[in-house]
Structure 1
Amino acid sequence: MQASASATSSIRRLLRRFRRNRRASAALEFALVAPIFFALLFAIIETALMFFAGQVLETATQDSARMILTGQAQSASYSKQDFADYVCNNTSVSVLFDCKKIYIDVKSYSSFGSVSINSQIDNTGNFINNMTYSPGAAGDIVVVRLFYQWPIFVTGLGYNIANLSGSMRLLVGTAAFKNEPYST
């Protein structure tokens, strides 16, 4: 009986000593909180970078659409490839994006009421590549859209902003305008 009581008291003393010792508590708390903290930090950085890339794409769309708006692309007989080269060489797109992976869609309409903009993502999350290049004539309504499939890396802990299959986010820049009355 005596041995059992002394064993119990030594266990109690050991537990009290363990409870009073705070030397490793900060390391233990950090080990518990660090994965969640870093996951949140990386998700914030990735989201900010994605929004920045979306803004760069939108700015590039507006800048390159000005070539069609003023009739410069039509007067110079730009092909789809010529316009793609202009987008990559004369805007800030080449800093963040692989120019070979930018999709360009230029469509012209007779009136703003006839403009139809469809989603480029199908029901299974795949990108629909049905791009055309029709810059229109003077006075036509034109919609210029640039697309880029941005890779998403932080998808854990229930945070997934991908809207394409394969952990990708479709970034879109759009400009809609009426061509100026230029002369060819």
Structure 2
Amino acid sequence: MRRALKSLLKDRKAATAVEFAFVAPLFFALVFSTIEAGWTMTQGMMLDRALDQTIRLVRLGSADAPKTQDAIRSAICSRTPVILDCRNVLSVEMVQINTPADFPTDAARCVDRSGAVNPTLRFSNGERASIMYVRACAVVDPVTPLMGLALALPKDSTGGYRLVSTSAFMNEPG
């Protein structure tokens, strides 16, 4: 028995496999977290840029500016190809701000993809020379839902997390 135990302890054939078994999960978690963070930042930046471009048209009051909530959502989605099924996962609200206390302090109202009733969104085009606050919220799925960073992201009941973009502007005087 003692001889068999000594023989087993001297055998180093599987040492590399054991080391790999310890290191590989950490390495893969790091790699997939990097991918997840990069993809999340790309989607967030594109949502910010699309909101800015769309709201610029609204702010200037140009003839081809989207004027309804659905038209603004469509304009944002046309500029955000990295958000899959954008029309169904993006919500847009726009409110007129009369005093600093009017800025929304609540969480962004996002689409509920589980099929429950979606939130009622505030939407107003505002008056000329009024301050407007716009908030867009997209619910997106993680690239690697069971590894690394994706495990730490706050998710809804369908496994998606929120990307929120905001903007404030003053309508041009009439």
Instruction: Please state which band the TM-score falls in when normalised by the shorter chain.
Output: 0.7 to 0.9
The equivalent of 2:68 in structure 1 is: 79
Give the whole-Å Cα distance in 2 for the aligned partners of 1:127 and 1:53.
26
Structure 2 vs 1, CA of residues 158 and 87 (structure 1 numbering), >3 Å: closer, same or farther?
Answer: closer
User: Counterparts of 1:120-131 in structure 2 under 5 Å?
Assistant: 120=108, 129-131=119-121
The equivalent of 1:6 in structure 2 is: none
Structure 2 vs 1, CA of residues 34 and 99 (structure 1 numbering), >3 Å: closer, same or farther?
Answer: same
Q: TM-score, normalised by structure 2?
A: 0.77
Give the whole-Å Cα distance in 1 for the aligned partners of 2:104 and 2:149.
37
Structure 2 regions of 5+ residues with no counterpart? 111-115
Structure 2 vs 1, CA of residues 164 and 121 (structure 1 numbering), >3 Å: closer, same or farther?
Answer: farther
The equivalent of 2:29 in structure 1 is: 39
Give the whole-Å Cα distance in 2 for the aligned partners of 1:157 and 1:102.
23
Give the whole-Å Cα distance in 1 for the aligned partners of 2:130 and 2:99.
7
- Relative to its length, the structure with more helix (as a share) is 1
Structure 2 vs 1, CA of residues 161 and 135 (structure 1 numbering), >3 Å: closer, same or farther?
Answer: same
Matched, 1:96 2:86: no
Match of 1:26 among 13, 16, 32: 16
Deviation at 1:163, TM superposition (A): 4.3
Structure (1 or 2) with the larger CA radius of gyration: 1
Structure 1 regions of 5+ residues with no counterpart? 1-10
The equivalent of 2:113 in structure 1 is: none
User: Counterparts of 1:100-119 in structure 2 under 5 Å?
Assistant: 100=87, 101-119=89-107
Give SS of 1:173's match.
strand
The equivalent of 2:124 in structure 1 is: 134
Q: TM-score, normalised by structure 1?
A: 0.73
Deviation at 1:103, TM superposition (A): 0.8
Whether the aligned pair in 2 keeps the contact of 1:143 and 1:175 (CA below 8 Å) is yes
Structure 2 vs 1, CA of residues 164 and 19 (structure 1 numbering), >3 Å: closer, same or farther?
Answer: same
The equivalent of 2:137 in structure 1 is: 147
Give SS of 2:164's match.
strand
Kindly tell me the number of residue pairs found equivalent between the two proteins.
Answer: 166
